[in-house]
Amino acid sequence: MTQKATQYPSCSLGRRLAAMLYDSFLLFAVIFMAAWLLLIIFGQEVAATPNPLINIYYIAVAFLFFGWFWTHGGQTLGMRVWRVQVTDERGEPISWQQAAIRFAVSILSWICVAMGFLWAIFDKENRGWHDLASKTRLVVLPKK
């Protein structure tokens, strides 16, 4: 990145949602592979028996997916397509702690019928609850 990320414009809600749609397809594939791994290791009993640890496992897999991309370049694959990057408030890469806060509050935002994402409409910098809580922001990168 040659220019400081703080100089880039904030990401709109529409672009944010488009990147999330792309990432949801990839995340589905990752979760599918994680489920397949459970079946290989533990057999079909794991699918037949309700177990809250399995849900925690899937949430952990999703966090590792997003957290790794956010802390290594600031972009998931969907974010790359839409030229969106997550940075801290100074325009620097985010930490794992910020990624964890961002992820947890994103889940809370969805539980609250996406109110945390819709908050970006009212924020002057287009930040959602997860951006505010983790002290991050989404910026739109220029075309190459």
Domain boundaries, the chain: 8-140
What pLDDT does 60 receive? 98
CB atoms near residue 32 (< 10 Å): 10
Q: How confident is the model over 72-95, as pLDDT tens digits?
A: 999 999 999 999 999 999 999 999
Q: Is the pLDDT of residue 2 over 90?
A: no
Rg (CA), the chain: 16
Q: How confident is the model over 21-62, as pLDDT tens digits?
A: 999 999 999 999 999 999 999 888 887 778 899 999 999 999
What pLDDT does 47 receive? 73
Percent of the chain with pLDDT over 70: 97
> Is residue 45 a contact partner of residue 100, using CB atoms and an 8 Å limit?
no
The torsion angles phi and psi of 21, rounded to 5 degrees, stand at -60, -45
The torsion angles phi and psi of 42, rounded to 5 degrees, stand at -110, -10
